[in-house]
Amino acid sequence: MAFVGDYAASEPTAEAVAALPGRVALEFGAPWCGHCQAAQPALAQALQARGDATHLKVEDGKGRPLGRAYRVKLWPTLVLLRDGQEVARVVRPREAADLADALARWDAAPPAQVENVSG
């Protein structure tokens, strides 16, 4: 998967994200967020190894419906989806190791399982 460095110009709807087939890494954050900036190297390293997945980088903030639909409280939050179902979540990863467990679950877990991992 190509790691997306910039936030999407327009926010997709929750329905559009849920309709995406296969594996989707949905990253929430803000360009001015220090935690988001610090997490970028770890996210890039972890996500580039998964060539068949889609990476969506969405700017979040007050009143943003997609972030509310996924109950995002802190940035960055990485929601890992398979066929529209959340299978893992990582909040504020600091290094690639913080992502390893969630990515392993994403690779192996059936869509019905939801796992939360906080970094």
Q: Residues 33, 38, 44, 96: which is the catalytic one?
A: 33
Rounded CA-CA distance 85/38 in Å is 27
75 carries an active-site annotation = no
CA–CA distances in Å: residue 10 to residues 1, 64, 66, 79, 113? 20, 11, 11, 18, 29
Catalytic residue among 26, 36, 88, 102: 36
Please name the residue that has the structure tokens 């979040």.
Answer: 60
Is position 51 annotated as part of the catalytic site?
A: no
Query: Helix axis angle, 34-48 relative to 96-108, nearest 10°?
Result: 50
Annotated catalytic sites, by residue?
33, 36
